[in-house]
Structure 1
């Protein structure tokens, strides 16, 4: 009897699934009375059982097999004499049965899932170490906050304008809050993984994705406490502005791409100026000792997310009102005022106006740069108040140069 060609692949994949997961479990099976109840042979046979139930087109048989395997595993579990045998192998065996069945219907998905399951099983020690020793309680809480922001709050936000000026769309506003949270989390993770090896300049760059103003403040404190790190701290403060410009590009692109095209040259000029000035500062700080990594706190929390949403809403509402009262100059004024609090919120507001057709893409560029200018003024104030005069004398010219070059880029457009 010849096996039909269309059955060869599902059965082969089912056998491979059992062998793959079973081989990993066999390595951790142990010996003697404390060994796990299933190894490579059991996993292979169970996976083939799952595939056979589907080949017989019997969902009832698959249910019966699942219950039977679960019952056998329960008996084996309670017969084990050691105190904490765990349930990983038992759970993996039931999952292998289902993957074997899935291989008959969705062969690629079953194969991919089996590899993923094996990776999770093999990474046991690293996952445990990460959860217990590396991931802090605050970071875990932040991850839960991010999950709630994405999967709970965002779907509840109404996707329509709710104000008299037709500018406040809560669903859109919260989308940009999530985007900013993700960018901040990425910067925090990068800094966390690389730690002090980054040095102050690159730490400033990645910390700037969390908060550029906070980074400048922390660098100012470092420069005061460790005068021999003055140039390195100033470099990190200037590089945090690179993060600001990159974030601006990201949020504008997510809002209205034509506005990003209108701002491409100004943002590029600002980035080049920031990088050249930072390169000069790096040359001056070549002999600075590295020092410990900065501690800037959490990249995001629910209060911070709500505050960011409130700032964006306030700037949008103010821009809508000023635009209604004063026309295009009103948007420019509102953007400058809002920029003292947050440049990215201003960018979202102006780009949203362009996306709604209230102003042109080129007309949105000036309000965004006005917000960036006001934000740079805020950074200058922080540099003056957090660090000493030498720190401010190094950081403020860089901030001024970046802002000036951005406006020059707009003039050349």
Structure 2
């Protein structure tokens, strides 16, 4: 059997599987008697195979004619049953199954994936209806639409090139930062609704720290300022996000120059342990009103706050680029300090790359990395004051200071 024949046979098998999978769900939902639905498991299997056969025999043009015929038949069936069931779900699924059968001949993996999603949507009808009507709030729906517009429209359309003063501004990176901050805030919102503030916020903070620890601290502070009863959970999540920073930095350095980790194992280990211990203190601390706070969890995110944070990071990047252009290699430490204000990982990656290129030694690379981590921690302290006020910052700053002190202690011992 040739490779083309094997591909065609696989496509037919996938089409058969899609028809059986989707048709089984529709068969279970058919009524009995004269008013029962017209499409069941056999109809869906036949339509899926009909789409495959159309592509095999005549390509896309024959598939289009077949889809028109299937769509017309579905419309006729709908006219007979629309008084009992005014929905168009079965008819639309029948037409899509036919098209997926045709797609399976050319791209069986894509067709199988879409078919599985279709079957899952059909099988989850009751749960989806309950979620949208009873669980999802109107404001949450608006937030989902706004986030989708930012992530699926604004972000892809933003130019992915450096421009502006010193070629330091990348619109795609700025838009990505705003979307990341919105996603972090939404993650904390979902976790808090699902698990409560005591467990949800710390877990969300640690996970979101892999995206941006500074943005996580900002998001947690903004939420704590609106709802002081969530303070302990927000502080725990904010501090635990710094552990993610250290883990991510370790991975970045290991991928670029693994030998550099030998000189950094003690600083990074000490810093991560200190942040973990301090975060656990607030994880086990219970706020007096933590049980009542779940009733009012606020909004998923604040677009204005995300834009302000992105603007602040952009200004820091401009200053860093200007300093590097002015001082060149002589300003490596100062440049590392400024770059660290925006992203500690960028400083670590730069130093590790210079070491990998044999331009600096391991001892020379440690200094900029630790300075970048220190200024990044300083930036987090400033962000904590800006986002959550004095009450939030006085709980965050000691943990950040303890972490960075442990980092330098590890460097001194090493």
Q: What's the TM-score, normalizing by structure 2?
A: 0.74
Q: 1:310 corresponds to which residue?
A: 311
1:241-320 mapped onto 2 (5 Å cutoff): 241-247=239-245, 250=248, 258=256, 266-280=267-281, 285=285, 291-293=291-293, 297-320=298-321
Aligned residue number for residue 79 of structure 1: 80
Counterpart in 2 of 1:212?
217
- Who is 1:405 aligned against? 406
Cα 1:216–1:108 change in 2 (3 A) is closer
Cα distance in 1, alignment partners of residues 178 and 265 from structure 2: 23
With normalisation by structure 1, the TM-score equals: 0.74
Indicate how the Cα distance of structure 1 residues 57 and 355 shifts in structure 2: closer, same or farther if over 3 A, else same.
Answer: farther
Once the two structures are TM-superposed, the CA of residue 183 in structure 1 deviates from its matched residue by 3.8
**Aligned residues of 2:30 and 2:37 also touching (Cα < 8 A):** yes
Q: Does 1:331 align with 2:335?
A: yes
The runs of 5 or more residues in structure 1 that have no matched partner are 226-231, 340-344
Cα distance in 2, alignment partners of residues 220 and 306 from structure 1 = 18
Match of 2:374 in 1: 369
Q: Does structure 1 retain, via aligned residues, the 8 Å contact 2:208–2:216?
A: yes
**Residues in 2 aligned to 1:330 and 1:55: alpha-carbon distance in whole angstroms:** 65
Say which SS state the counterpart of residue 20 (structure 1) adopts.
Answer: helix
**Aligned residues between the structures:** 391
Unaligned runs of 5+ in 2: none
Range with bigger deviation, 208-217 or 309-318: 208-217
The equivalent position to 1:347 in structure 2, one of 341, 344, 364, is 344
How far 1:71 moved relative to its partner? 1.3
Alpha-carbon distance in 1 for matches of 2:171, 2:154: 10
State the shift of 1:175 in Å.
Answer: 3.4
CA distance in 2, matches of 1:234, 1:287: 6
Aligned residue number for residue 15 of structure 1: 16
Query: Post-superposition shift, 1:90?
Result: 0.2
Structure 1 residue 43: Cα displacement: 1.6
Q: Check 1:143–1:101 CA distance in 2 against 1; reply closer, same or farther (3 A cut).
A: same
- Counterpart secondary structure, 1:291: helix
- What secondary structure, in the 3-state scheme, does the structure 2 residue paired with 1:165 have? helix
The verdict on how the C-alpha distance between 1:159 and 1:351 changes in structure 2, with shifts beyond 3 A counting, is farther
Which position in structure 1 is the counterpart of 2:65? 64
Contact 1:179 1:251 in 2 (8 A): no
- Is 1:237 the counterpart of 2:238? The answer is no
Match for residue 342 of structure 1?
A: none
**Cα displacement (A) at 1:243:** 1.2
Q: Distance in 2 between matches of 1:256 and 1:164?
A: 33
**Which residue is equivalent to 2:167?**
166
